[in-house]
């Protein structure tokens, strides 16, 4: 029933702490133009635009897509704005693909972005109402207790997080678009960096970035004629659960487990660790790599940390994770999810340059948001599903 959807163009900006040289419109246009160039298309070829970004308070503009969309060829076209907290980039990609898969549009441009240098993201995340005590300083403050919970139940060695950070930061050196590139990064540098929210250290934390990511998606007939090999969408899935309720497992939530089960079922994958060649996973704080390895059913319960320890998630391991340097290296919040999806697509198109996994033919893109409650994922492949 569903049309096949191919990703025929991918573009992203060089992610940075503050892009003072462009306005919001300039930022998204940069990513969109790169995606169009990659697809060898023009604005005229796009039928609809899907924009994704995180809370509007990050830029201080209400529904900014309204004043921005015509900068990316959206004038007099259908335009949708997705907002599912941190997972928004992923959900945006899924909504865009669904427009093609439903046979409604031939070609859709999707852009996700954040220009958080224009407002104060920490403030926007900590607006408190009189019902709760303001103690949580930023997302890290919210997630640190969960990390502690994972450490307790899995018995993972204390330096697991440092190893993840080291790997991702080394990978970032091979990604020209990554925000944080620390050429002399090593274990000790990370271990001795200031502790922010015990047990999360400064260098185990994502930066705050300005950035945008864009993709052009097309229906089968057009994707087959595209100048470069498309990445085919095999399956996608979204799952949400309440932020808080009695007895909730907030460390490895059921929503991620359900998401993974359904995703693999739709993609015809029985053994994800073997059948998926690499993954781009939303890891804003280093410890989330082992946690999401379990959450995405790649590793057994309480064994996610072993994958990190054994080097399985390194570029030369059997299940490379975050070849781009991941969210730890670049975090324009609204775009981060779409970046994961895009980087996965780049891998199966052989487009990832220096951070390419040789022979990658099937990749997983993953995003999560909120209080670890929204999960959006997709599987893309070099071959049609």
Partner 1 sequence: MSEPVEILKTPVKLDYTYSAGQSASRFLRAMAEGKLIGQRCPVDGRVYFPTRGSCPQHGALMRPEPVELSDRGTVVTFSINRVPSENIKLDLPYAPVQVLLDGADTILMHVLGECPIDQVHMGMRVQAVWKPKSEWTTSIGNIKYFKPSGEPDAPFDSYKEHI
Partner 2 sequence: MREVAVVAFAQSKSLRRELDRNEVEILIPVIGELREKSGLATGEIDFICSGSSDYLAGQSFAFVSGLDAVGAWPPVSESHVEMDGAWALYEAWVKIQMGYADVAMVYGFGKPSMGDLPETLALQLDPYVLTPLWPDAISIAALQARLCIEKGVTSERQMAEVAARDRKNALGNPYAQVKGEFEIAKLLAEPYLASPLRKHDCSPISDGASAILIASEKRAKQLAKRPAWIRGFTHICEPQDLGVRDLTRSRSTEIAAERAGVRKGKVDVAEIYGPFTHQEILIEKALGLGASTKVNPSGGALAGNPMMAAGLTRIGEAARRIWDGSADRAVAHATSGPCLQQNLVCVLEGN
Q: Which of residues 80 and 182 has its CB atom nearest to partner 2 in the complex?
A: 80
Q: Distance of CA 245 to CAs 240, 241, 380, Å? A: 13, 10, 34
**Binding at 255: pick from partner 1, partner 2, none (beta carbon under 5-8 Å per type):** partner 2
- The residue (of 68 and 357) whose beta carbon lies closer to partner 2 is 68
Contact between residue 89 and residue 341 where contact means Cβ atoms under 8 Å apart? yes
The whole-angstrom separation of Cα 58 and Cα 296 is 29
d(C-alpha 167, C-alpha 90), whole Å: 23
Shortest Å distance, C-beta 125 to partner 2: 6
Task: Choose the one of partner 1, partner 2, none that binds residue 102, judging by a C-beta under 5 to 8 angstroms depending on kind.
Answer: partner 2
Partner from partner 2, partner 1, none binding residue 76, C-beta < 5-8 Å depending on class: partner 2
Rounded to whole angstroms, how far apart are CA atoms 368 and 73? 29
Q: In angstroms, give the least distance from the CB of 207 to partner 1.
A: 14
Nearer Cβ to partner 2 (39/260):
260
**241 close to 85: Cβ distance less than 8 angstroms:** no
Instruction: Between 32 and 164, name the residue whose CB sits nearer to partner 2.
Output: 32
The nearest distance, CB 156 to partner 2, in angstroms, is: 25
CA atoms within 13 A on the CB side of 40: 8
Residue 184 binding partner per list partner 2, partner 1, none, with a CB distance cut-off of 5 to 8 Å that depends on partner kind: none
Cβ 277 to partner 2, closest distance in Å?
Answer: 25
Least distance (Å) between residue 278 CB and partner 1: 31
Q: What is the DSSP letter of 248?
A: -
Q: How far is the CB of 148 from partner 1 (least distance, A)?
A: 5
Residue 61 buriedness (CB in 10 A; 0-12 / 13-18 / 19+): middle
Q: Which two tokens mark 202?
A: 């400064």
For residues 371, 329, 282, 188, the Cα torsion angle rounded to the nearest 10 degrees is: -80
Among partner 1, partner 2, none, what binds residue 104 when CB lies within 5 to 8 Å by partner kind? partner 2
What the block records as the tokens of 162 is 């440092």
Work out how close the CB of 64 gets to partner 1 at its nearest, in angstroms, rounded to a whole number.
Answer: 13
DSSP-based three-state secondary structure for 84: strand
Q: Which residues contact partner 2 (rule: CB under 8 A)? A: 1-3, 23-24, 54-67, 69-70, 74-85, 91, 94-95, 98-99, 101-104, 124-125, 127, 129, 237-243, 245, 253-255, 258-259, 370-371, 373-374
If the CB atoms of residues 13 and 240 are measured against partner 2, the closer one turns out to be 240
Name the site residues for partner 1 (rule: CB under 8 A). 20-21, 60, 120, 122-123, 126-138, 140-141, 144-146, 148-149, 152-153, 194-200, 242-248, 251
CB-wise, 80 or 191, nearer to partner 1?
191
Phi, psi of 155 (to 5 degrees): 70, 20
Closest to partner 1 by CB, 123 vs 187, is 123
Provide the 3-class DSSP secondary structure of residue 378: strand
Rg (CA), the chain: 19
């Amino acid at each position: 029933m569903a049309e096949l959807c191919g990703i025929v163009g991918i573009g992203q900006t060089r992610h940075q702490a503050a892009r003072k040289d462009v306005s919001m419109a300039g930022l998204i246009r940069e990513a969109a133009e790169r995606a169009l160039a990659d697809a060898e298309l023009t604005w005229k070829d796009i039928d609809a635009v899907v924009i994704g970004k995180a809370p509007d308070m990050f830029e201080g503009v209400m529904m900014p897509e309204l004043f921005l969309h015509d900068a990316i060829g959206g004038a007099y076209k259908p335009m949708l704005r997705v907002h599912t907290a941190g997972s928004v980039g992923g959900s945006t990609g899924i909504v865009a693909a669904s427009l093609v898969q439903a046979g409604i549009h031939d070609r859709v441009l999707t852009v996700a972005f954040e220009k958080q240098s224009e407002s104060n993201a920490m403030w926007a995340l900590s607006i408190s109402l009189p019902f709760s005590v303001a103690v949580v300083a930023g997302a890290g403050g919210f997630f640190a207790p969960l990390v502690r919970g994972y450490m307790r139940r899995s018995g993972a060695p204390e330096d697991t997080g440092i190893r993840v950070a080291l790997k991702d930061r080394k990978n970032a050196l091979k990604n020209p678009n990554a925000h944080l590139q620390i050429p002399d990064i090593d274990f000790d540098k990370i271990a001795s960096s200031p502790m922010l929210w015990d047990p999360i250290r400064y260098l185990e934390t994502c930066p705050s970035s300005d950035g945008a990511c864009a993709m052009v998606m097309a229906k089968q007939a057009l994707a087959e004629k595209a100048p470069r090999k498309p990445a085919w969408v095999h399956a996608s899935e979204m799952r949400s659960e309440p932020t808080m309720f009695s007895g909730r497992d907030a460390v490895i939530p059921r929503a991620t487990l359900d998401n993974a089960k359904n995703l693999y079922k739709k993609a015809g994958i029985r053994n994800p660790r073997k059948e998926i060649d690499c993954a781009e996973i939303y890891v804003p704080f280093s410890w989330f790599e082992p946690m999401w390895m379990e959450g995405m059913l790649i590793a057994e319960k309480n064994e996610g940390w072993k994958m990190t320890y054994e080097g399985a998630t390194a570029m030369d391991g059997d299940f490379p994770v975050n070849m781009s340097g991941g969210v730890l290296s670049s975090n324009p919040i609204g775009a981060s999810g779409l970046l994961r999806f895009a980087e996965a697509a780049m891998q199966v198109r052989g487009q990832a340059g220096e951070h390419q996994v040789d022979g990658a033919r099937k990749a997983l893109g993953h995003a999560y948001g909120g209080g670890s409650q929204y999960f959006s994922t997709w599987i893309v492949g070099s071959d049609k599903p």
